[in-house]
Amino acid sequence: MVEAAATGPEAGTKRGPRPWPRTLRWAVGIGVLLVLALIAGLTASVIVVRQSWPQTSGTLRLSALEGSVQVIRDSSGIPQIYADTTHDLMLAQGFVAAQDRFFEMDVRRHATAGRLSEMFGKAGLESDLVVRTLGWRQIAEEELPLLSPATRSALDAYAEGVNAYLEGRSPGDMSLEYALLGLTGLDYKPEKWTAVDSIAWLKAMAWDLRGNLDEEIGRALSAAVVGPQRAGDLYPAYPFGQHPPIVQQGGVRAGRFDQNASGAPAGLARPPLDQPDAVRVLDEVRAVVDAMPPLLGRGDGIGSNAWVVDGKHTDSGAPILANDPHLGVSLPGVWTQVGLHCRELSAQCPYDVAGFSFSGVPGVVIGHNRDIAWGLTNLGPDVTDLYVERVTGDDWEFDGQRLPLTLRPETIKVRDGKDVDIVVRSTTHGPLLSDIARYADQDGVDLTDDGVVDQVHQLGSAGLDDGATEHAVSLAWTALTPHPTADALLALDRATDWASFRSALSDFAAPGQNVVYADTDGHIGYQATGLVPIRRAGNDGRLPAAGWRRDTDWTGRFIPYDELPNVLDPASGIIATANQAVIDPSRYAPYLTSDWDQGYRSDRIGKLLAADDALSADAMRAIQLDDRSAIGELLTPYLLEVKLPRGYYSDGQKLLRSWNYQQDADSAAAAYFNAVWREVLHRTFADELPKGLQPDGSDRWFTVMAKLLPRARAGWWDDINTDDKVERRTDILREAMIAARDDLTALESPDTDEWSWGGIHQLELRSSTLGESGIGIVEWLFNRGGWDVGGGGSLVNATAWDARDGYDVVTAPSMRMVVPMDDLDASRWINLTGVSGHAFNPHYTDQTDLWARGDYLPWVFSEKAVRKAGEDVLTLKP
């Protein structure tokens, strides 16, 4: 709680997520050079901009092809590829992906190899330090020989297609970004694409969807600041009584998950471990994790919705499946749409699939083939553990012995700077993340600025050190164990029924996912995936563990795939997943995690699905766009009880009296409520929590506030900075409502009739590289923005914002899809941006306007329908 407005959230602050490089700011002289080069001659500028756009019609010859391939693009530029062999199909996918987005692919492979500094100089160093320490590229190289021959062949063919695109092209012919980087003196020629480049992107996917690492650190640091008991208020348990889990039947029996089993033994009750907590190194690791640029997105807004209903609940009598993953917002968007079709299905060419893929990765990640459809949400199993280690020199302590650390030298080349030499030190648990802060500090990068350590010392609770020579923090993470996850993606594309679907997912190691299923025979299902460690009794996964103790180690075993929850054709006929708990631990012994999404989205989805026995594809789309606010419904009755001065300050309160808790873009009441919510969080917790631990307003804080609001005199309401007053709930709510009124007056208007939620809750799409250059003309070239959107954090329409920073959208539904299994040509899909990564190309953001309005594109699948919808046909020949 903070009384003075000057110490509250900055009025009008609207900041998006940190780009990845953090900044790419060059000298003013370079900006002048770019302006002269691009603006002085309009004709020349148009040529520079358009020269990298793909050829989408006519004929091209590629020497690596075995036969003729057709690429049919619709009015949105979405390619559907037809070939006679798997080799040609994957080669063509690689070629087309490079046509549309090679610069993005190239930056991604630099990011996943820890080589961003080679392109962008010191701005890429933070990311490179993290990636080199984790060894993503090395793990990808170790995974390559584990893959099946079919997957390896597909990856190699995809690489052939990318390299066919590179052949004979200068960097300026590939993207506008390369042309501009050339003007800054970058002497660069892209390397050939390899299979490892594709595999390494799966490590980025696993990192951003890694589970509860942030909660593990936050829980420990919060305990250091306010004590373990009060920290428990900030990390509430999952409310199983209010929000049902995904799977509501079954348990493990005889080594397999049996959906008809009942009463499996409860999971182990592992109490939190009392740590010799080294606050400084934990805070440094927190800063290291935050410094890593988001590749898919960051924060509690990362998640997804996916559900499927059987024919008993639909107007057609056939299943309908829907999915919308919530990821970071960027240009180009995370996904690209594609169709992959063998002209004749056979064992040699088994693909007839369409959906969403990552540029740089062969196949389809989410979508449907002619037999089945599937959707993904992040399961979020606890697959990471931090270990506080006792280190002396290059030795570490374990079970009473001194053991040598494993040392791995790395050299990071920095454009226009000196090489950075590091030595990655590891225990048997994993690499020492805490070393990264030391190397960053040596190069003038200050990572620890979140105020945690300072506040711990001020409160006198830093005396948790146990006298070890040095504390360090290592990371154990399942994704650092080589595993053939790439096999699962392509096997999923080929699956034809429940058995082959489950078999495909058995290799899906990281990140663990909830996968919903439907088929054309009328079945629906769910399968949990992921490599989940089995821990020893001394480690419950919720707090950093003592690395010198044997009883905190992982056992080296993982939950067997056959024991992971799954269900086929549940009696309810409905499966809804939104990152909530998978199954009640009272019926399931293996420990998955205790840090689930709190279930507000899943509860709302389940109620909407159960309320209609004649669901249509249109009804599914309406549910995806549902923007009812659970926290609005909870908090508003308390706000209406507060007495405010009549007139100016009560105008906002009047809006809440008739508010239906919907957060559409035009809603004035939603604008006022969210401004109040932001102020309530800050004024309740900012006096006791340092900047790095303050509320972001996500689902966890919904539950925290749900437990706190009925307690009008709880200690959290009191502002510890005011010696002459003890604040109560009403005091804080009143101050928040007054401050919110002033905030909206500054942001929008003194007249409440001119307020709208979309007016302050805006979608800004920024290129994560040159779009963060700091040079206005360059940012204008690559960034797009200003979409007013509804929804909000932890709503079904999950356009999340961060209460610490402002109201702008930071994560959002990165795509939406609805698939009716009786008529695949009636499916609908939409992408956050477009299929093109080329600025000013008609398909750069052509889907964003539709997305923001809640509209969808037709998603035809049959060859007849695809050809009818086609606007451009490109023929590729040997």
Res 61: pLDDT: 96
Could you report the per-residue pLDDT of 367-396, keeping only the tens digit for each? 999 999 999 999 999 999 999 999 999 999
Q: Is residue 700 part of a domain?
A: yes
The per-residue pLDDT for 44 is 56
Contact call for residues 660 and 754 (beta carbons, < 8 A): no
What pLDDT, in 10s, does the model give residues 588-643?
989 999 999 999 999 999 999 999 999 999 999 999 999 999 999 999 999 999 99
How many Cβ atoms sit within 10 Å of the Cβ of residue 822? 14
CA distances (Å), origin 763, targets 208, 302, 665, 766, 829 = 21, 16, 11, 10, 19
> By C-alpha distance, which of 611, 612, 502 is closest to 567?
502
pTM more than 0.75: yes
- What CATH number is attached to the domain comprising 710? 1.10.1400
449 domain-assigned: no
Residue 870 lies in a domain: no
Q: In which residue ranges of the chain is pLDDT below 70?
A: 1-45, 48, 262-278, 296-301, 443-469
**Residue 253, Cβ neighbours under 10 Å: how many?**
13
User: Does residue 729 lie in a domain region?
Assistant: yes
Domain that holds residue 709: 628-661+668-755
Q: Hey, is 286 helix, strand or coil?
A: helix
Q: Does residue 284 sit within a domain?
A: no
- Burial-class residue 753 by CB neighbours within 10 Å (0-12, 13-18, 19+): exposed
- The phi, psi pair for 296, rounded to 5°, reads -105, -20
Residue 704 resides in a domain: yes
How many structural domains does the chain have?
Answer: 1
User: Phi and psi (nearest 5°) for 370?
Assistant: -75, -10
Domain contains 743: yes
Sign of CA dihedral 667, 671, 673, 674: positive
Sequence-distant (6+) residues with CB within 8 A of 4 are none
Asked if residue 526 belongs to a domain, the reply is: no
